[in-house]
Amino acid sequence: MGQMKSNDLVYTNEKCQGCNRCISVCPVLTANYSVQTEHSSRIQVHGENCISCGACFDACEHHARSFLDDTERFFRDLERGEQISILLAPAFEANYPNEYGSVLGGLKRKGVNHIISVSFGADITTWGYINYISKNGMKGGISQPCPAVVNYIEHYEPELISKLVPIHSPMMCTAIYAKKYMKITDKLAFISPCIAKKKEIMDPNTHGYITYNLTFEHLMEYVRKYNITGSSAKDEIEYGLGSIYPMPGGLKENVYWFCGEDVFIRQVEGEKRAYEFLQNYKKRIRDGEKLPFMVDILNCDRGCLYGTGIEESKSHSEDTYYQLQEIKEKSKKNGMFHPFSKHMSPKNRLRMLNAKFAKLNLNDFMRSYTDKSRSVSLRKPTEAELQLVFKRLDKHTYEERTINCGACGYNNCREMAEAIYNNCNTPKNCIHYMKNEMQEFSKKIEEQNYKILRKNEEMSRFIQEDFETLNASIDSMLQGNTVNAEESSAVSAAVVKVSEFCNTLEKSFGDMEELLHKLEKNNKHITKIAQQSDLLAMNATVEASRNGVVGKGFGVVASEIKALAETSRTLAGESDDNRVEIVEAVRMLLEETVTLTHSIAEINDRLTNLAASTQEIVAEADVVKSISENVKVRLEELNQTE
């Protein structure tokens, strides 16, 4: 299972919403399978199991089903010069009475050789049915013009194969007649109202007589797109009541026309009724109950007129019925001695019909069928295996296993379980399984919520305690900040005093420097006096020498003056040396004092900023405390609410 294969006639397109309506109408349990993704689901077609009945097309409101036919290949081959003739379904004229002639003319212009109405083949089918049933005493034979019905029986009800009338469908009877009796060697294309005809064409039992199936929908879409028209053309062979085969009960009416209405023909149409009937019919045959003369059964509830391959716009119109009724009346207005004349008795009509086809060999139009039940992937679970599936679905009681709500698309819970067993579906497509899952999930959510609530209460208690601690810390911080602010202000005041002291010291150093300058001047005067004293001493000594004994007193005085001058000079020199050292020291102290003054000024600025910041911190701490108290109150209110 998985993606569409190249031979899957019916497939799921991108519009699928996974709504299960296709499952609900499908007669085959395993023809659809659910594909679950993380965010969505879609219903895919199992090509091998699908009988192409088209029920899903009618049911799907999303137009999520599409189909393939041979329209494009047919036109490509025509363009390449392939020799092709057409078999035309009688429903085509009824569906397109105004376009019928121009479309056929357009196909002729594109290179189509012959156009033969399948209504003629339907007349052969009627002839074949009546002759085979009469000669072989077949009772309760099932008609086989509908390929979906034949597909179903061959794949899913092989016990009924022996009841299929072994005469080809009108399409195949037309093809055989064209090939064997008209000697047409062209490839044959069937303009068809039916998707499933492609499977009949491909069946080995139809021997490849037909190459293309052109559905009304795809053909007309192509014709309009490429404007394929031409001079009006029509089919080439006269036909009779075979034209009404597309109507519900068309085969039955043909048989009644030739055999009278004394024979009982069971008429069944519609996807749901047809396949349910076949299941019950199998049981009826098995039980040996009374059977009808034959069964006229069609897949589509309104016959081939509204087949699976027609345009959707046509399916909503009643005009096709009225158009076919006109064709039917024309068929009955044939001459007095025509097999379809309404002026003859059924017995004479049958005699005329046999005369009309006297040159035909019945064996040419007979077909065989094949038991294809092994080719489909349908496994029948044992009761034990089914019980295991029900456990997966969380269905443990009889009541739970017979809810049969149909939301999954199947008729009942047992069918759903069988589909799961065949890997066509999953428990997640069961609404009651999902409801139980949601209830369990909801229960877990409640448990988690309870745990979260208790945890929240515990956390709330811890948070309250933390807020109390926080508030206490804020109070301490406020007090500390207040003290810091006061201390910062005090230190700032002390620093101002130190700064004032530095200014006084700087002034004192200035005064000292001025005094030292005066000392320097005094030393210079002393040195000068000493020099003068030296000069006086020298003069006194000279005078002493000149005066002899009298001058001795002058000599003593001169010696004392000289000694005093030397002492004064020495002291002045030492005083000057000390002054220089003191000046240098004062200069250095003055520089340090200036540096200290600047540093104190910076410290004072920073202390001022610190004091301001401390005041801001105090203000912000007040705000934090206020918020903390509000949160604490809200938490208390929340706990009271819970």
What is the spatial distance between Cα 434 and Cα 416, in angstroms, rounded to a whole number? 14
393-421: string of b/e by CB count within 10 Å (b at 16+)? Answer: bbbeeeeebeeeebbbbbeebbbbbbbbb
What is the spatial distance between Cα 583 and Cα 512, in angstroms, rounded to a whole number? 9
pLDDT at residue 294 greater than cutoff 70: yes
- The H-or-E segment that residue 286 falls in is helix 271-286
pLDDT at residue 336, as a whole number = 41
Domains, the chain, ordered by start: 10-48+380-429 (no CATH), 69-360 (no CATH), 434-641 (1.10.287.950)
The candidate with the shortest Cα–Cα distance to 188, out of 74, 79, 84, is 84
DSSP labels, 322-385: HHHHHHHHHHTT--TTSTT-TTS-HHHHHHHHHHHTTTS-GGGGB------GGGS------HHH
Mean pLDDT of the 614-634 span:
68
Confidence of residue 333 (pLDDT cuts 50, 70, 90): low
Mean pLDDT of the 425-449 span:
87
Mean pLDDT of the chain: 84
CA 285 to chain centre: 50
Q: Please state the pTM of the whole predicted model.
A: 0.70
Which range, of 84-98, 108-122, 551-565, averages the lowest pLDDT?
551-565
pLDDT at residue 436, as a whole number = 87
Confidence of residue 6 (pLDDT cuts 50, 70, 90): very low
Mean pLDDT of the 373-379 span:
88
pLDDT at residue 50 greater than cutoff 90: yes
Q: Which residue has the higher pLDDT, 249 or 582?
A: 249
Q: Which residue has the higher pLDDT, 592 or 288?
A: 288
Q: Which residue has the higher pLDDT, 479 or 416?
A: 416
What is the spatial distance between Cα 219 and Cα 112, in angstroms, rounded to a whole number? 14
Cross-strand partners of 167: 366
Q: Give residue 279's identity as a one-letter amino acid code.
A: Q
Q: Are 492 and 604 in contact (CB under 8 A)?
A: yes
What is the spatial distance between Cα 86 and Cα 186, in angstroms, rounded to a whole number? 9
Mean pLDDT of the 59-85 span:
96
Q: Give residue 576's identity as a one-letter amino acid code.
A: D
State pLDDT tens for residues 564-619.
667 767 766 776 676 677 667 667 766 766 776 676 677 767 667 766 766 776 67
Q: Are 232 and 102 in contact (CB under 8 A)?
A: yes
Which range, of 212-216, 379-383, 436-440, 534-538, averages the lowest pLDDT?
534-538
Q: Give residue 520's identity as a one-letter amino acid code.
A: E
Check the CA dihedral 186-192-195-200 and report its sign: negative
pLDDT at residue 5 greater than cutoff 70: no
Mean pLDDT of the 206-235 span:
96
Rg (CA), the chain: 61
pLDDT at residue 290 greater than cutoff 90: yes
State pLDDT tens for residues 430-440.
989 988 888 88
| Backbone phi and psi for residue 536, each to the nearest 5 degrees, phi listed first | -65, -40
State pLDDT tens for residues 103-140.
999 999 999 999 999 999 999 999 999 999 989 989 89
pLDDT at residue 593, as a whole number = 67
Mean pLDDT of the 303-315 span:
88
pLDDT at residue 319, as a whole number = 80
3-state SS record for 202-247:
HCHHHCCCCCEEEEHHHHHHHHHHCCCCCCCCCCCCCCCHHHHCCC
Alpha carbon distances (Å) from 75 to 116, 159, 189, 220, 228: 18, 41, 11, 13, 11
Alpha carbon distances (Å) from 465 to 454, 455, 469, 630, 636: 17, 15, 6, 14, 12
Check the CA dihedral 92-98-101-103 and report its sign: negative
pLDDT at residue 622, as a whole number = 72
Mean pLDDT of the 255-279 span:
92
pLDDT at residue 522 greater than cutoff 60: yes
